Structure 1
């Protein structure tokens, strides 16, 4: 593959940043004009290690009147730099062998990094500043906002500041990770980060001063940026233009890069759906050129193979041609792509489940195994993103409760783990998915699996109610067997002799209830929901730990203590 010319986002205004040490010393959140007057804001240079901070404003005229959000940012950054907070990949990625972490060397570099934050990096119109009339200021602000994709692309780290905090202007309204994900201008920031040329690590998600992790792409990777919630409808087309530029630029930079060929082919396949553009009809020759294959690679069995590219781009005719004329393997195991949340070992049918019913039907008619599993034993049915895909699987004799070694979850548990839409969860239950099946290794039922992506799941409450209405046992303990039991014991044994990954810490406690699991992960909203559904906080796991002992965060401990002190029948 030959590299193509790279189109970059435009910089229409200077990129102003604050040195990390100055940010950590601020007594309060200051605006751009105040920091310029104090000489604490500088124009970003190419040699700087810069961090882009994305956040949701807590008020209409001011992002953070009380300073609560900014204080969390300061404390979180200090905790990350000092190593108090460890930053790791999400659990599904770790379970399939991915091990990306923010190293001590990375943390040390952050001490002298520079931070872009909209309130102090963009001049504020409402703040009077001598020498600038309102028209000139408005123009500068407009150009700065238009330059945000460039600013994201210029930063080496993207941090999403998403603590749960009350809105400053509206009573009974909270801002959190889910509301941030829904913001119209948030989504292009996320995608511009993925499509950046300078990104060195996945997006870091800060939920609280002591709670930060690499974000799970499943919360946003299936969503088109222009489908977000916009206050100004005309912004939707502006975002569409930004996204088209970002995709063209990233694909041009990746084309010819053999080290990132899998990511290139994934993005080249999904771009039309995400950009809401019609998919071009490709001949075999243009298909080969579009994805950077050589003709002998049409029968490849490693990497993001042609069949996977045809599935992701929803090209039914190409799928049939590759299978019937070139004997493409239907059960080929695909690589993981951490940037987009693609865990390693899936088959083309797993990818088809994410695209919809027509592609699932096509592969099953070509004799794909409806119960074919990935490397950890999870069948494709659970990865379905639509009811149509579920119906096609079941019509073709997929087992709604299928699991396989070494630790396969049921389709319903997988749907819970990967944030499937609620109608998919409801349909699986109606079609007799076992709501209390713990999977092949006996470790995790669907209600337990909900805890992993809980903070980014906008449908969490209705899915909990849906499972409980289907007779899910809120007090069901994990009972690991076989390889998972061995792994549990190994994790318990090593917990006293070395620092463990989050996956190891969780497997050491895997025999707990859904409530215990939610407490262990610090998923406060799920803890509340489970307590409302009469979950028992006194049940102990194989290590003798109950929910309160598993809760590491003060807010979760307080919630449990208040529940235990409250009179029976009184909600906390």
Structure 2
């Protein structure tokens, strides 16, 4: 009792005064003066381009302007380079962007996220193409707008380029829109297909994504083709911290670490200044995860030094003092009044589970926090539902030391109280946490419990979210799991493409399986899918829904405009001559859903010749030309 009284009365105020002072005094990496000016290309100039020229050439041609917000709105374009020394050697990616902008500005449309995200998470924000027409538009694209090493003396170029790179958070802040340019194209150097999935793996692309997500408007538009655009779901980024991304230059990790620290500190301080406590606490307790992939020691989110002593079991007085010294920094940084009070549906021990520091979690359990404590308010953005337990949180967010501790304290390993009926094992799959999967299996959880939404096993939620590592471990350690129609659902989720499709086929999935379902089981899912397509596809609703039944994975990918998956399925040998229950072939579905011309052409070749000589990457490079 003395420990608890000490925590409430003597040590804890709302938020540590030192942190509040820090929030008002710290520099803002987004709004501070840019180290290198933000140059942009006016929209009309961009739309008439037919080749990619570097910054220096565009400056000489006076094609660039120095951007100021009063001039109009800027689009920040994030992309993966399609060549070793050139971002877009044949202008194929940027031709797609030209076509997409032309289509979006020609007619008003709503751009949604993936269909199954709508089903699982409910209605999310969408992007209205009419927003692009409110003001003059400008394009920020790294090769256009940052100095390039090849055309300047090395000493000067390094300085300017470094300053431009350091200014990326400021460029993202000043841009009203954020587009990811990720069409399916062939990499010029190694011949591999790149697209949305490849973009997600790049370290610098992940940094740009984080910078966007820390803005007031965090929406990110994927540009897959001139006809097809989607919104990125926020939860996707939780599975892909920048430190785990791919960097062509190893030393870039140090620069990225510096940027990440600055952005995290700035955003935390901004949330403190506005007293936005729930997102502040959420980010504060995910701070370690953002940085630990860089292999650095992260003591605390604040700049103060916190020495967290372990709990000493000997002697009540010593133990009480140790608990206080351990928990006071945690409570102060989070602005908790005591160790039990619930705010925003979360108690301190829930945030401790999110934080992943087992010493803090153990100290709270020592003070008799409930090992099966639940979150009581859903956070759909982060895929957290009311009645998720501490074990669900640790499993989903990869806090495996905390997971071990909770298991040792006899937490319910089969808890499934939330609306989806997901167990901690399901959540470990969703969070792509293979170690967590193994820990729960070793602890004796029931791996055959099914979630409630579609009455499916643990593979399905993991697969839908593209959690390849967790799926692989489940396939290896849980015998007898049904994988029927799993390809279909992965494509519907929008997170699985070539590599993951290949692995599932290798595990025994039928590449030509036709979609079947029991009406009483799937009616709720299809009702939600119908709501999604009615809102975002209008008159196409009846066509899309009616064509699900009997469709192969290839047909589903065409119906849902999952171009990267369709590309890989064709090259993996999918049969293009299987008709669905409505009697339609994949090529007819492609035409009806406005698939790009290269896709239609490839399907024609496959149907006519069986094994055409040219692969889909080569055909994709001949994307329809845009005229202005």
TM-score strictly above 0.5: yes
* C-alpha displacement of 1:175: 3.5
| Aligned residue among 383, 392, 401 for 1:342 | 383
Residues 1:241 and 2:284 aligned together: no
Equivalenced residue count is 551
| Aligned residue among 440, 443, 452 for 1:393 | 440
Q: Residue by residue, what CA displacement relative to the aligned partner does 1:179-238 show, whole Å, maximum 9, x if unpaired?
A: 33333322222222223x4x4132221122222211244554333323333333222111
Q: Is the 8 A contact 2:350 2:375 kept in 1?
A: no
Q: Residue by residue, what CA displacement relative to the aligned partner does 1:349-398 show, whole Å, maximum 9, x if unpaired?
A: 33222315443343344433514154233333133233332233234443
Structure-2 residue corresponding to 1:459: 499
Structure-2 residue corresponding to 1:316: 358
Structure 1 unaligned regions, length at least 5: 438-444
Aligned mates of 1:503, 1:244 — CA distance in 2: 45
Aligned mates of 2:350, 2:542 — CA distance in 1: 32
| Aligned residue among 323, 326, 342 for 1:300 | 342
Q: Is the 8 A contact 1:21 1:112 kept in 2?
A: no
Q: Is the 8 A contact 1:82 1:107 kept in 2?
A: no
Aligned mates of 2:489, 2:614 — CA distance in 1: 24
| Aligned residue among 179, 182, 192 for 2:198 | 179
| SS in structure 2 at match of 1:451 | helix
Change beyond 3 A, Cα 1:254–1:304: farther
Change beyond 3 A, Cα 1:200–1:387: closer
Q: Is the 8 A contact 2:50 2:91 kept in 1?
A: no
Q: Residue by residue, what CA displacement relative to the aligned partner does 1:160-192 show, whole Å, maximum 9, x if unpaired?
A: 112222233x25244333333333322222222
Change beyond 3 A, Cα 1:290–1:16: same
1:556-567 paired onto structure 2 within 5 Å: 556-567=599-610
* C-alpha displacement of 1:485: 1.6
Q: Residue by residue, what CA displacement relative to the aligned partner does 1:286-334 show, whole Å, maximum 9, x if unpaired?
A: 22222233327x3427445433321121123433454562447634344
Structure-2 residue corresponding to 1:51: 75
Q: Is the 8 A contact 1:180 1:186 kept in 2?
A: yes
Q: Is the 8 A contact 1:537 1:560 kept in 2?
A: yes
* C-alpha displacement of 1:345: 4.6
* C-alpha displacement of 1:37: 4.5
Q: Is the 8 A contact 2:346 2:375 kept in 1?
A: no
Relative to the length of structure 2, the TM-score reads: 0.76
Residues 1:413 and 2:460 aligned together: yes
Aligned mates of 1:369, 1:450 — CA distance in 2: 26
* C-alpha displacement of 1:33: 4.0
| Aligned residue among 560, 580, 589 for 1:521 | 560
* C-alpha displacement of 1:89: 2.2
Q: Is the 8 A contact 2:115 2:493 kept in 1?
A: no
* C-alpha displacement of 1:247: 0.7
* C-alpha displacement of 1:45: 1.6
User: Which structure has the bigger radius of gyration?
Assistant: 2
Change beyond 3 A, Cα 1:30–1:286: same
* C-alpha displacement of 1:97: 1.1
Aligned mates of 1:290, 1:504 — CA distance in 2: 52
Structure-1 residue corresponding to 2:486: 446
Structure-2 residue corresponding to 1:441: none
| Aligned residue among 451, 472, 475 for 1:428 | 475
Change beyond 3 A, Cα 1:20–1:499: same
1:216-255 paired onto structure 2 within 5 Å: 216-217=233-234, 219-255=236-272
Structure-2 residue corresponding to 1:475: 513
Change beyond 3 A, Cα 1:85–1:305: farther
Q: Is the 8 A contact 1:413 1:447 kept in 2?
A: no
Q: Is the 8 A contact 1:495 1:505 kept in 2?
A: no
| SS in structure 2 at match of 1:185 | helix
Change beyond 3 A, Cα 1:231–1:346: farther
| Aligned residue among 52, 57, 80 for 1:29 | 52
Residues 1:488 and 2:526 aligned together: yes
Aligned mates of 2:539, 2:454 — CA distance in 1: 19
Compare the two structures and name the one with the higher helix fraction.
Answer: 2
Q: Is the 8 A contact 1:371 1:399 kept in 2?
A: no
Aligned mates of 1:494, 1:182 — CA distance in 2: 28
Q: Is the 8 A contact 1:386 1:421 kept in 2?
A: no
Q: Is the 8 A contact 2:41 2:64 kept in 1?
A: yes
Structure-2 residue corresponding to 1:107: 132
Relative to the length of structure 1, the TM-score reads: 0.83
Q: Residue by residue, what CA displacement relative to the aligned partner does 1:384-423 show, whole Å, maximum 9, x if unpaired?
A: 2333322332344433232243434321111111222336
Change beyond 3 A, Cα 1:480–1:106: farther
Structure-2 residue corresponding to 1:274: 290
Which structure exhibits the higher relative contact order, with contacts defined as CA atoms closer than 8 Å and separated by 6 or more residues?
2
Structure-2 residue corresponding to 1:147: 167
| SS in structure 2 at match of 1:208 | coil
* C-alpha displacement of 1:275: 0.7
Q: Is the 8 A contact 2:451 2:458 kept in 1?
A: no
CA-atom RMSD in angstroms = 3.7
Aligned mates of 1:542, 1:489 — CA distance in 2: 19
Structure-1 residue corresponding to 2:322: none
Structure-2 residue corresponding to 1:206: 223
Structure-1 residue corresponding to 2:373: 330
* C-alpha displacement of 1:8: 2.2
**Structure 1 stretch displaced more, 362-371 or 41-50:** 362-371
Structure 2 unaligned regions, length at least 5: 1-13, 301-307, 309-324, 616-628
| SS in structure 1 at match of 2:491 | coil
Aligned mates of 1:29, 1:123 — CA distance in 2: 14
